[in-house]
């Protein structure tokens, strides 16, 4: 069966290469009238965009090829490459394991020793699942740890951590969280503000509770329209040991929630696990600390993640950056035995050469999420990969992970005027915007579509991208 699968992949890849190697197949063509009009209205130069519409099966020359050989910054569209490579290399059913170790004896609910939790890259150890992990610890009869609770984060290199403010000066935005071998709840705190009008205040609940952090339990209510309610609260997140608000919540707002990245991401896991353990009635005689599992110690259980197919869906539907980076690093860990960006770039480069080929310039990888100023790919190269993916047994998993236009994910509010159907990954940075994926034509044919703009006015090109999708769908 493995030999048959490899032969199928090679045959599919060869067919796609043949289609895209047709002489003149990527010659420049005139842009559709609706696209030209939308670009002119948005004041986006034609030379700032790259566009491709080609049959998904790769058996005909492209319908449209505009500047397709130019390497561009794809923003979050790069997640398409990371997620398809992961599906191809690891399989849709792949899951991450978080082993838990007990070093000592258990008597009368007390672990006389240390408890170890070893992270191995699980991208979805969110609040609910972290609680379930700790509940399984209590299921071992442990309610108190006389020693330490130790978090082992050594599976990923510490070089992966970055300054959360370095990319765009927004350190409190959850999308800037660094990956972590033991990534708990995306290193973020969700705050829920619930007005109690009888008491002229709003109660504030925090998910998760953070150990040794003072969290203001209430804020005042103020008259007036809701407006910019976050600014009205006058938050102070500068001290990792305290979350406070110097303003008030406008009463007209009703209940509100706000997720922020924790001010000290390095200690977030310790504080989150410690806070949840205490809230569950657990006690720690020693301390919460980072460390390594002693050699030779065997896990008492292993906590499994959802399958990769589900993780890929979360990444692509909602463009989750840190989850994409977790997957990217996992490829380095599994293929090169090192959880580093360098190893992952090497693994992805090798995969690209072997599976997608060298007919087009290969992508430039950075962190695999598109949250980068350095990542690059051409429309021709991305189109080639999408055609390979279409002919792959993994096609259903990849396509179903993409936002359905006008239905869900990042494209929920962008419906096709033609009434057609499309599954497309979006991308957006300060100087880059675009979409790429698959369009269902009115004739019944399926198309690969890539549309990316780079430049200071890139975001204004979205109407032109929508016009291109409509044009691709109206093929009858």
- The Cα 170–Cα 153 span in angstroms is 25
Of 12-21, 119-128, 156-165, 393-402, give the lowest mean pLDDT range.
Answer: 12-21
Question: Is the pLDDT assigned to residue 58 strictly greater than 80?
Answer: yes
Q: Is residue 8 over pLDDT 90?
A: no
450-to-64, 170, 425, 428 alpha-carbon distances in Å: 10, 29, 10, 14
Q: Could you tell me the two tokens for 10?
A: 């090679």
Using one digit for the tens of pLDDT, what is the confidence trace for 61-91?
999 999 999 999 999 999 999 999 999 999 9
Instruction: Tell me, yes or no, whether 85 and 48 share the same domain.
Output: yes
Calpha distance 260→189 (Å, rounded): 5
**Closest among 311, 312, 370 to 175, alpha carbons compared:** 370
Q: Which domain holds residue 419?
A: 2-93+307-473
Domain co-membership, 140 together with 20: no
> Would you state the pLDDT for residue 173?
81
User: Distances in Å between the alpha carbon of 388 and those of 88, 318, 323?
Assistant: 11, 24, 24
Closest by CA position to 147, among listed 101, 183, 182: 101
The pLDDT assigned to 1 comes to 40
pLDDT above 50 (res 422): yes
Q: Taking residues 202-227, what's their average pLDDT?
A: 95
- In Å, how far are 386, 401, 431 from 103, measured between CA atoms? 48, 41, 52
Please check the confidence at residue 22 and state whether its pLDDT lies above 70.
Answer: no
Evaluate whether residue 362 is within a structural domain.
Answer: yes
> What pLDDT sits at residue 129?
98
C-alpha dihedral, 225 to 226 to 231 to 234, nearest 10°: 80
**Backbone phi, psi, residue 284, to 5°:** -130, 120
Whole-angstrom distance, CA of residue 340 vs CA of residue 320: 19
Tens of pLDDT, residue by residue over 279-304, are 999 999 999 999 999 999 999 999 99
449 and 326 in a common domain: yes
Residues 6+ apart with CB under 8 A from 207: 127, 189, 190, 191, 192
Q: How many domains does the chain have?
A: 2
In this structure, are 111 and 83 located in the same domain?
Answer: no
CB 350 within 8 A of CB 337: no
List, for residues 118-168, the tens digit of each pLDDT value.
999 999 999 999 999 999 999 999 999 999 999 999 999 987 777 666 666
Cα distances from 457 to residues 37, 41, 210, 270, in angstroms, run: 16, 12, 41, 42
pTM tops 0.75, yes or no? yes
295 in the same domain as 360:
no
Give the CATH number for residue 68.
3.40.710.10
Residue 394 domain-assigned (yes or no): yes
Angle between helices 462-473 and 33-42 (to 10 degrees): 170
Tokens of 196: 């109690």
Per-residue pLDDT, 368: 96
> Judging by beta carbons within 10 Å of its beta carbon (0-12, 13-18, 19+), is residue 406 exposed, middle or buried?
middle
pLDDT at 28: 52
What pLDDT is recorded for position 169? 66
Mean pLDDT across the chain: 92
Q: Are residues 403 and 341 in the same domain?
A: yes
> What does DSSP assign to residue 25?
T
**Phi-psi sector, 68: left (phi>0), alpha (psi -120 to 50), beta:** alpha
Do 48 and 137 lie in one domain? The reply is no
Position 177 confidence tier, pLDDT thresholds 50, 70, 90: confident
Q: What does the pLDDT read at residue 101?
A: 98
52 plus 21 within the same structural domain: yes
Is residue 42 exposed (0-12), middle (13-18) or buried (19+ Cβ within 10 Å)? middle
CA distances from 36 to 44, 329, 347 (A): 10, 40, 39
- Mind listing the pLDDT tens digit for each residue in 330-350? 999 999 999 999 999 999 999
Q: What's 352's DSSP letter?
A: I
Same-domain pairing of 373 and 408 = yes
Say whether the peptide bond before residue 280 is cis (omega within 30 degrees of 0). no
In a domain, 267, yes or no: no
Token duo for residue 136: 């399984």
Q: Return the structure tokens found at 283.
A: 């006690």
CATH at residue 116: 3.50.80.20
Do 326 and 364 have their domain in common? yes
Q: Are residues 417 and 289 in the same domain?
A: no
């Amino acid at each position: 069966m493995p030999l048959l699968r490899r032969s199928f992949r090679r045959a599919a890849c060869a067919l796609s290469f043949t289609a895209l190697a047709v002489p003149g197949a990527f010659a420049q063509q005139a842009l559709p009238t609706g696209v030209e009009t939308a670009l002119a209205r948005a004041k986006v130069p034609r030379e700032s965009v790259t566009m491709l519409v080609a049959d998904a099966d790769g058996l005909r020359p492209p319908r449209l090829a505009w500047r397709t050989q130019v390497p561009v910054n794809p923003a979050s569209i790069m997640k398409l490459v990371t997620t398809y490579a992961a599906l191809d290399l690891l399989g849709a059913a792949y899951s991450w394991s978080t082993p838990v170790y007990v070093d000592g004896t258990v008597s009368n609910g007390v672990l006389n020793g240390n408890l170890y939790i070893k992270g191995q890259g699980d991208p979805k150890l969110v609040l609910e699942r972290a609680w379930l992990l700790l509940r399984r610890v209590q299921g071992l009869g442990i309610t108190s740890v006389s020693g330490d609770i130790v978090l082992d984060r050594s599976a990923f290199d510490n070089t992966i951590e970055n300054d959360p403010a370095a990319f765009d000066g927004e350190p409190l935005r959850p999308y800037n969280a660094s990956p972590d071998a033991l990534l708990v709840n995306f290193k973020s705190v969700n705050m829920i503000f619930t007005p109690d009008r009888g008491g002229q205040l709003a109660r504030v609940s925090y998910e998760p509770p953070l150990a040794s952090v003072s969290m203001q339990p209430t804020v005042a209510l103020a008259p007036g329209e809701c407006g910019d309610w976050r600014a009205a609260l006058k938050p102070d997140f500068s001290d990792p040991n305290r979350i406070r608000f110097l303003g008030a919540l406008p009463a007209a707002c009703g209940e509100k929630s706000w997720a922020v990245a924790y001010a000290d991401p390095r200690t977030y896991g310790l504080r989150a696990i410690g806070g949840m353990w205490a809230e569950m009635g657990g006690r720690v005689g020693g301390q919460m600390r980072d460390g390594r599992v002693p050699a030779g110690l065997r896990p008492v259980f292993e906590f499994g993640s959802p399958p990769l197919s589900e993780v890929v869906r979360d990444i692509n539907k909602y463009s989750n950056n840190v989850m994409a980076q977790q997957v990217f690093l996992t490829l380095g860990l599994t293929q090169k035995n090192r959880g580093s960006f360098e190893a992952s770039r090497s693994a992805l480069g090798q995969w690209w050469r072997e599976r997608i080929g060298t007919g087009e310039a290969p992508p430039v990888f950075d962190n695999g999420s598109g949250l980068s100023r350095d990542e690059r790919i051409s429309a021709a190269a991305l189109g080639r990969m999408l055609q390979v993916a279409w002919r792959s047994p993994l096609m259903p998993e990849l396509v179903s992970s993409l936002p359905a236009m006008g239905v869900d994910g990042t494209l929920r509010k962008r419906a096709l005027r033609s009434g057609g159907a499309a599954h497309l990954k979006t991308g957006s940075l300060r100087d880059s915007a675009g979409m790429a994926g698959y369009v269902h034509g009115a004739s019944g044919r399926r198309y690969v579509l890539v549309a990316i703009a780079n430049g200071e006015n890139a975001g204004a090109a979205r109407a032109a991208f929508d016009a291109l999708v409509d044009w691709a769908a109206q093929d009858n």
